């Protein structure tokens, strides 16, 4: 797609897609990003009703101030009440969008069918990550900074100019407030009143802080399934949108992921993780140390099948 086509897409990518039937899926984008980044996934869900909003302060709403995670969750709740079929949706959040999705679960559980969290460090960032990323926040409004990040994020070459333009527009105040909030994030002490399906996924090349949140998340929401997808990077919805869409569809349909007995584009299934014991869950809820709450070793891992001669 040409740069001019991407520029037009940035302005015209609609909020609502697909037929108004079945159950709605809402996609919540990551930080320094916007709704247009979901186009590849949405194109692979042609029969589904989907919503792709911009968060306050980002995307086409960059002139607004960041409202905090609670404010963003309330903003999303208002959208679901107005536009989602039956006022409820399957929620899919990437990175920052995953934080917003979890606050939506906490504040408005009645609006959510199921929740998929992709690449969100729900226990905040490590000290090393804060020291590394924090000083870079003032650079987030510089084009050269995001131009250098684009290939590292595996952004397709023909989308990089749009990626950079989207990333530099949020205000420095919004960027700093958002970063400080997610860097020090914690799960709510009063727990969740949500009993639907929850799927939390980390990419193999994600920050270790993302998997560090898996066991405490299962303690807070025992129905949570945690998965690791190897060979992909943080924004793998852009790397392989077709596979990402299949995962989303499976979650929305209440099916196991990856699907039993099905070869997925050369990927295969291994055994799922063990849920933490009752004692471990209690320890995590009391704020036990990392060793006790760390993810068990038998995580569900999708391994690429060795390629055969073509």
The secondary structure of residue 276, as a DSSP letter, is P
Contacts of 281 (CB under 8 A, 6+ apart): 218, 219, 222
Per the structure, the complete domain to which residue 112 belongs is given by: 3-139+172-304
Q: Per-residue pLDDT tens, the chain, 310 aa: give them.
A: 434 444 455 456 789 999 999 999 999 999 999 999 999 999 999 999 999 999 999 999 999 999 999 999 999 999 999 999 999 999 999 999 999 999 999 999 999 999 999 999 999 999 999 999 999 999 999 999 999 999 888 788 888 999 999 999 999 999 999 999 999 999 999 999 999 999 999 988 888 999 999 999 999 999 999 998 877 878 888 888 998 999 999 999 998 877 654 444 434 333 344 433 334 334 443 333 333 343 333 333 333 333 343 3
The answer to whether residue 194 sits within a structural domain is yes
Number of domain units in the chain = 1
Query: Whats the size of the chain, residue-wise?
Result: 310
* 162 domain residue, yes or no: no
User: How distant, in Å, are the alpha carbons of 8, 159, 206, 210, 272 from that of 228?
Assistant: 35, 26, 10, 10, 10
Would you say 223 and 195 are in contact if contact means Cβ atoms under 8 Å apart? yes
- The per-residue pLDDT for 257 is 78
Eight-state DSSP code of residue 264: B
d(CA 3, CA 124): 35
User: Which pLDDT belongs to residue 11?
Assistant: 54
The CATH number given to whatever domain includes residue 89 is 3.40.50.1820
243 assigned to some structural domain? yes
> Is residue 253 situated within a structural domain?
yes
How high is the pLDDT of residue 12?
A: 62
Distances (CA, A) of 262 to 49, 77, 226, 230, 302: 25, 35, 19, 17, 12
Helix 172-183 / helix 68-83 crossing angle, nearest 10 deg? 100
* Cα distance between residue 109 and residue 193, in whole Å: 7
Q: Tell me, what's the pLDDT at 237? A: 87
Q: What is the distance between the alpha carbons of residues 42 and 124, in angstroms, rounded to a whole number?
A: 29
Which are the contacts of 106, defined by CB distance < 8 A and separation ≥ 6? Answer: 73, 188, 192, 194
Q: Is residue 155 part of a domain?
A: no
- Domain contains 163: no
In a domain, residue 215? The reply is yes
Is residue 72 included in any domain, yes or no? yes
Sequence-separated (6 or more) residues with CB below 8 Å from residue 264: 243, 246, 258, 302
């Amino acid at each position: 797609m040409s740069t001019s086509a991407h520029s037009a897409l940035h302005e015209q990518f609609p909020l609502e897609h697909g037929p108004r039937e079945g159950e709605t899926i809402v996609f919540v984008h990551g930080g320094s990003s916007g709704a247009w980044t979901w186009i590849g996934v949405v194109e692979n869900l042609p029969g589904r009703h989907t919503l792709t909003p911009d968060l306050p302060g980002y995307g086409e709403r960059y002139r607004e101030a960041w409202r905090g995670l609670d404010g963003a969750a309330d903003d999303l709740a208002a959208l679901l009440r107005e536009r989602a079929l039956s006022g409820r949706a399957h929620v899919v959040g990437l990175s920052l969008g995953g934080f917003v999705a979890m606050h939506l679960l906490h504040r408005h559980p009645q609006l959510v069918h199921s929740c998929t969290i992709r690449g969100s460090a729900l226990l905040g960032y490590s000290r090393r990550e804060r020291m590394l990323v924090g000083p870079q926040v003032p650079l987030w409004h510089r084009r050269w900074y995001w131009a250098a990040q684009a290939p590292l994020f595996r952004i397709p070459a023909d989308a990089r100019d749009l990626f950079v333009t989207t990333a530099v527009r949020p205000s420095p105040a919004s960027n700093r407030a958002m970063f400080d909030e997610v860097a020090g994030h914690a799960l709510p002490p009063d727990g969740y009143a949500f009993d639907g399906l929850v799927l939390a996924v980390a990419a193999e090349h994600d920050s270790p802080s993302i998997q560090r949140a898996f066991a405490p998340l299962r303690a807070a929401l025992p129905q949570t399934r945690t998965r690791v997808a190897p060979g992909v990077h943080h924004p793998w919805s852009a790397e392989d949108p077709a596979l990402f869409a299949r995962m989303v569809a499976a979650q929305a349909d209440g099916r196991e992921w990856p699907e039993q007995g099905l070869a997925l584009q050369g990927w295969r299934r291994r055994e799922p993780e063990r849920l933490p014991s009752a004692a471990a869950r209690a320890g995590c809820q009391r704020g036990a140390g990392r060793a006790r709450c760390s993810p068990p070793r038998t995580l569900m891992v999708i391994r690429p099948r060795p390629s055969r001669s073509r």
